[in-house]
Chains A and B, each alone.
Chain A
Amino acid sequence: MNAPAQPLLEVRDLAVHYPGRTTWLFRQGPPKKAVDGISFAVPRGKTVGVVGESGSGKSTTGKAIIKLAPLSAGRILYDGQDIGALSNAAFKPWRKRIQMIFQDPYNSLNPRADILGILSEPLEIHFPGLSKADREARCAQLLADVQLSPDFLRRYPHEFSGGQRQRIGIARALAVQPELIICDEPVSALDVSVQAEVVNLLQDLQAKLGLTYLFIGHDLAVIEHVSDHILVMSQGRIVEQGTPTEILGSPREEYTRRLLAAVPKF
């Protein structure tokens, strides 16, 4: 069915515009163009990195793919099928195939649920046939997959460090056995030593499970390290894309050069 060359995800002319502020006499101001017509492809089993400054539209791009941001124009092709125009109900089966990991591990876990509850929820939705015992066994395995002790199932998010919480966030994303994970600044809030561990974990999981990543970040060195292909975004547009060697070794655009020059070297 799939030609091997078909990318897992293909985005064509994606735009996310928010309505402008209403000014006097109900006149509408100009729309805010968070993402303004971008196209890129994510090949199966690879990592595409997205870098840009705050407000560049990199996070909005990730959110638009899983319907957390409204699509104004463009097509999102997942495995050849257009998923951009689907209703929320029709999109549900794709939520099983596309998952997301968020930046702030402190705010992305429900503080009132124990880890078992947090990991069980996606299983209840997407694998309703699982028995309670099977579900618990699966949750324990998920913790093992992210190198945490299964004893943690009965504990609550506040008992964990930032790095451990991010591992739990990764385990939750893995629960439904997705193909594509959108990683939205997954290591930006972590200490460098923890950052290295989480990056290594994500790469190990990719090798083991054949995962595909869209990896959003602002740290050029991290993006260079994880990516097979890099998109540089600014003001809602992709200013340049290419392999890490091309982007870092011989950037064509002035914006990319400026971004690279701002990173303190040592």
Chain B
Amino acid sequence: MSAAPLLKVRDLGVTFRTGDRVTVASTDVSFELAAGEVLAVVGESGSGKSVSALALTRLLPPAPACAVVGSIQLAGRELTGLSEAELSKVRGKDIAYIFQEPGTSLNPVYTIGFQIGEAIELHRPDVTDRRAAVLAALRDVHIDDPARVADSYPHELSGGMQQRAMIAMALACDPKILVADEPTTALDVTIQKEIMDLLARLRRERGMSILLITHNFGIVANFADHVQVMRKGRIVEQGPTDRVMGAPSHDYTKGLIACIPRLGQRRHRLTTLKDELKVS
């Protein structure tokens, strides 16, 4: 693919300031995301993987508590420096998000249908029959009884169904990029498989790009075209999934992959990062 990438991030850095203390959450993050591509970001908690994704549309505290540096180009348009009003048009419309715990992302006092309708009202003002658009959005994520789900409150749905509703809401405005931040971490493995299969299908059908934040290498191997490994706010390694997983060049990547227990490969003792890196 020699075409210009859909998303081009250069030297992105996020810094938090509390009183006199400055915390560098991520620094020198550069990557590209092509149309229809799935890029996985892996790393441990605190590695800066979520914060970089949130920085794309500045879903972060305002300055001076939080500073974002670097360049973020979406289809050639620079996003850094845009006003809050301009950014809110990018959020949801061009770049949509789903998060780890669907239960806490949904508003408990409104029905699913109302919440999806809100997103449609905001980003697609030309839609006249909002109810029909809501039902279509739910049907798109393969919910068989969209009317029942639309009239349900979040607590009446299972975790898997809540995440489907979140995906429906995120996709209702046909975004170019879906940022999925640990979308299945809170779910059972069988539900996880259903959600990942659904995301794979939606990506094929719509040619949508996915920035997938996860710590599950199994999901990375089965789902991502490219992967970037983050540690302490920096990208330590990135490349095609087969290469990074098959022949990792960085010791940290090797260590992370080595410490995962795998089904059917019982070992006497689990490898730890310390074994691999020979440092704490």
With A203-B269, A225-B266, A266-B245 already in contact, the answer to whether A192 and B259 are too (CB < 8 A) is: yes
Write the chain A residue with the least CB distance to B221. A266
**A162 interfacial contact with B, CB 8 Å:** yes
With A162-B45, A200-B269, A225-B266 already in contact, the answer to whether A263 and B259 are too (CB < 8 A) is: no
Enumerate chain B residues within 8 angstroms of A97, measured Cβ to Cβ.
Answer: none
Enumerate chain B residues within 8 angstroms of A224, measured Cβ to Cβ.
Answer: 261, 263-264, 266
Enumerate chain A residues within 8 angstroms of B220, measured Cβ to Cβ.
Answer: 266
Q: Which of A172-228 contact B (CB under 8 A)?
A: 191-197, 199-200, 203, 218-222, 224-225
Q: Which of B243-274 contact A (CB under 8 A)?
A: 245, 255-256, 259-264, 266-267, 269-274
Complex Cα spacing A195 to B217, Å? 14
- In contact, B193 and A200 (Cβ under 8 angstroms): no
Name the interface size band of chain B.
Answer: 35 or more
Complex Cα spacing A195 to B270, Å? 9
Partner of A221, one of B44, B223, B261: B261
B84-119 to A contact mask, C-beta < 8 Å, 1/0: 000000000000000000000000000000000000
Query: How many residue pairs bridge A and B at CB < 8 Å?
Result: 92
Partner of B266, one of A162, A244, A261: A244
- In contact, A195 and B259 (Cβ under 8 angstroms): yes
- In contact, B188 and A54 (Cβ under 8 angstroms): yes
Q: How many residues of A contact B (CB 8 A)?
A: 32
- A binding-site residues for B, Cβ under 8 Å: 53-54, 162, 191-197, 199-200, 203, 218-222, 224-225, 244, 248-249, 258-266
Question: Apart from A195-B259, A221-B261, what are 15 other A-B pairs with CB-CB below 8 Å?
Answer: A53-B189, A53-B190, A54-B188, A193-B255, A196-B271, A200-B270, A220-B189, A220-B263, A249-B264, A263-B218, A264-B196, A264-B218, A264-B223, A265-B262, A266-B218
CB-based closest 10 A-B pairs: A264-B218, A266-B221, A196-B259, A196-B270, A53-B188, A193-B273, A221-B261, A191-B44, A262-B193, A262-B189
